[in-house]
Amino acid sequence: MTLLFGEFRLSRSYKIAKELRGNCGERSEGKDMVVKKVESLVSCQIYAVKGEEENIADYDWEDYRWQLNNSIKSVDAFEKFTGITFARKELGELEKTIQKFPLSITPYYASLIKREGYRNDPVFKQAFPNPAELKISQYEMKDPLHEDKDSPTKGITHRYPDRVLFLVSNCCAMYCRHCTRKRKVGDPEYIPSREQILAGIYYIRKNPQIRDVLLSGGDPLMLPDDYLDWILTELNRIKHVQVVRIGSRMPVVLPFRITEKLVHILKKHHPIWLNTQFNHPKELTLSAQEALRKLADAGIPLGNQSVLLAGVNDCPQIMKKLNQQLVQNRVRPYYLFQCDQSEGLSHFRTPIGKGIEIMESLVGHTSGLAVPKYVVDAPGGGGKIPVMPNYIVSWSTNKVVLRNYEGVLTTCKEPDNYKPHSCDKNCVKCGLQHNLNEENQPAEGVAKLLISADEISMIPNGNIRMKRREKSHIGGVLNA
């Protein structure tokens, strides 16, 4: 049956869901949706439809292929599906936005939008285009993290010493409006070919310092099962690759993609990790929780990488509740990202001080498992920089003054008999029994200053004082 979104509108759906709740003992995913599903026991999963009383079978709604085939890709389809309408002037602005940054929302994720007050709905803001995306600030960039400049071969970003980012897909189940890779996602020019994937695998194989591979895109779980299985098999054959991570928003926007078959494939390739991106407690529906359960039961460690978004989750209470519920579902809050300086994201960006405020409300106020690391992914490819409230008040040679989450000041006495030693990475002479039996990578940055007896400073290229000093020496004049 060909399904049109307009067939699913149902103004009395919440009333029906409420009546069914007594039988199913659970709540519905969305109160005012076109298709109304009460998430609960399988026998109680019911859909109600307006008009000719046609029904979508459970297996259709929960079939991720059906969801993808019926994705909402136009404003008109969104209006018919949700019953939300836009003024003619606004429609023109929305169409211009979609021409630059395409629209795609799964029916499942759209079903979470609450019609009343939808403009402030966190799901709506993440999924539906906003004409503010066309306002490009002078400091915004197509590639703010310089992933392309740090790419030794197409599809690979090698920024950190022992790990690489491997872009294996440019497609997503939903085009997040805050995506840092809006320049690539959904663009047919960026679809990775099999040859490109093989070139990336070859690069990883030829660089033995790479021990960690992060599969991303797009969304790697948009790949067919057998193709993903092939990529993971090839990576598993590389001896120096110790762990593979997958970055996917499928548990959030299309949890039905987490099938038993997919989980079985992933389980074959341990050790494998999966990081997802829940940004608001509203996204943790029963379907999402079931997807997380399948992955966790398969022994796949789960992490979450939230993005701090203005008007969505820039609230200490929202972030605390989200992280606590994630831990409850065996997902470790990993990162809280400052929104990147990608084109068209200025309306999403908060001051870094807001992130500090949120971290202040988490540390000590909830369990450490529910506290992510707040990071700024430095523009220009500088990598992730952790940012935290300052808990060191002062210190001297024998005492450190600290403060806790309550504001209580306390002191920590430094040891009198500690014998200082520095690590020059000469493990043969070291008395510590670590038995690493591997080649040490050279230190960089501040870590190099700490261990080197010769390096006393680290000076940026183009430093004016250094240039002036060089000119003075060249001219044979020593200036004070």
CA quadruple 260, 262, 263, 269: dihedral positive or negative? positive
**Amino acid symbol at 221:** L
Give strand pairing partners of 333: 304
**Amino acid symbol at 351:** P
340 is catalytic: yes
d(Cα 144, Cα 341) in Å, to the nearest integer? 6
Instruction: Give me the catalytic one of 80, 125, 176, 349.
Output: 176
176 is catalytic: yes
Residues whose CB falls within 8 Å of the CB of residue 143, separated by 6 or more in sequence, listed in order: 149, 183
d(Cα 56, Cα 45) in Å, to the nearest integer? 11
Residues whose CB falls within 8 Å of the CB of residue 145, separated by 6 or more in sequence, listed in order: 180, 340, 377, 378, 379, 380, 381
Instruction: Give me the catalytic one of 172, 314, 334, 349.
Output: 172
**Contact in structure between 273 and 303 (CB atoms under 8 Å):** yes
Instruction: Give me the catalytic one of 14, 118, 160, 227.
Output: 160
DSSP result, 157-216: EEEETTEEEEE-----SS--TT-TTTTTTT-GGGPPPHHHHHHHHHHHHT-TT--EEEEE
Q: CA triplet 114, 116, 121: central angle to 5 degrees? A: 50
**Contact in structure between 377 and 383 (CB atoms under 8 Å):** yes
Residues whose CB falls within 8 Å of the CB of residue 232, separated by 6 or more in sequence, listed in order: 244, 265, 266, 268, 269, 272
Token reading at 365: 């106020």
Give strand pairing partners of 72: 105
Token reading at 131: 């004409």
d(Cα 199, Cα 154) in Å, to the nearest integer? 8
Instruction: Give me the catalytic one of 60, 384, 403, 405.
Output: 384
377 is catalytic: yes
Residues whose CB falls within 8 Å of the CB of residue 142, separated by 6 or more in sequence, listed in order: 183, 342, 343
**Contact in structure between 40 and 286 (CB atoms under 8 Å):** yes
24 is catalytic: no
Instruction: Give me the catalytic one of 9, 181, 320, 349.
Output: 181
Instruction: Give me the catalytic one of 109, 171, 179, 335.
Output: 179
In angstroms, the first-to-last Cα distance of the chain is 85
423 is catalytic: no
By annotation, the residues acting in catalysis are 159-160, 163, 172, 176, 179, 181, 340, 377, 384
